[in-house]
Chains A and B, each alone.
Chain A
């Protein structure tokens, strides 16, 4: 497992990041718990006098067109993901591999042209 050694810095970074973020979260909590007076009651925990409880959920519905944009993004994202192994292994696959990818791109260009023609990419 030689190649896993390349990932060791990332693992170390993960541990450092987890430790730092845990320290930033729990250190102030602990310090304030140990040093400050801590005796809450219902009035202290309720909303402030000029605030009020929320009337409704803050979430609101999105326009369905966001969904279309997200779907198109995923499709082209996948297409781009297919490009990486193709580009790396082009000296192994040669011309057939190149032609394959061009056909694949052609298929998606058909879809892209359709999306453009229908007006799926326009917002208004």
Chain B
């Protein structure tokens, strides 16, 4: 009962905030609506039983991706009055996209009316659940059976990091002086100073 109520609450909020993402005039507002949609999707994931995915949605999507979207929105210098002024010019493109979406709708309804997918029945010989909780099962699979895919994910993250640095890093224009601690420590007093004992009244020869 409570689950059903919670499901409909989260689902309605997801759809409503997704609509608001599109409808909001201000792009910053649409990013904030997107964050709300992520939170509600996390609630749906909890209801399904995928706890870890729910937490990932909150941690990664809400925390990081939404921040990134905000950055993009802030960095793009978009004049929205000018964007709306291009309505006539972009009209053919809009019609084309609308046609593509219409074709997808037709295909989707056709597929729906073609009947159910034959998913088969579970034979009961699948691997038993290894751990007790969702996250434990997931870890056992990810670090046991799918080792190679996991390492590939690491490589992809590495490529993403290097790519982001290559694309956006600009070397500093003014070179600041840097401290070389090893050089400082290697310098001895006898290299730097000379003891002189000049005679009285003659001055120092350098």
Contact = CB atoms under 8 A, between A and B. Distances in A.
Interface of A: 1, 3-4, 7-8, 11, 59-62, 64-68, 70-75, 77-79, 81-82, 84-90, 92-93, 96-97, 100-101, 103-104, 107-108, 110-112, 114-115, 118-120, 122, 124
Given A70-B71, A71-B68, A124-B172, A104 B160 contact: no
Interface of B: 2-3, 6, 28, 46-47, 49, 51-52, 55-56, 59-60, 63-65, 67-68, 71-72, 74-75, 77, 130-131, 133, 135-140, 142-144, 147, 150-151, 153-155, 157-158, 160-162, 164-165, 168-172, 176
Contact of B164 (A71, A108, A110): A71
Contact of A97 (B133, B144, B171): B144
A68 B59 contact: no
Contacts of A89: 130-131, 135-140, 143
Contacts of B55: 84
B128 to A, nearest CB: 12
Contacts of A3: 49, 51, 133
A100 B152 CA distance: 11
A7 B172 contact: no
Contacts of B2: 8, 11
Given A61-B77, A62-B75, A100 B136 contact: no
Contact of A84 (B28, B74, B135, B153): B135
Given A104-B154, A107-B158, A111-B161, A62 B71 contact: yes
A107 B139 contact: no
| Chain B interface, >50% SS class | helix
B158 A77 contact: no
Given A68-B164, A77-B63, A108 B154 contact: yes
Of the candidates A61, A65, A73, A120, the one having the most CB atoms from chain B within 10 angstroms of its own CB is A120
Is the contact region of chain A dominated by helix, strand, or loop, or is it mixed? helix
Contact of B60 (A11, A74, A103, A124): A74
Contact of B52 (A11, A84, A96): A84
A2 to B, nearest CB: 11
A74 B68 contact: yes
A74 B65 contact: yes
A104 B8 CA distance: 40
Q: Which 6 A-B pairs have the closest CB atoms?
A: A89-B139, A85-B139, A97-B143, A71-B164, A111-B161, A74-B64
B42 to A, nearest CB: 11
A123 to B, nearest CB: 9
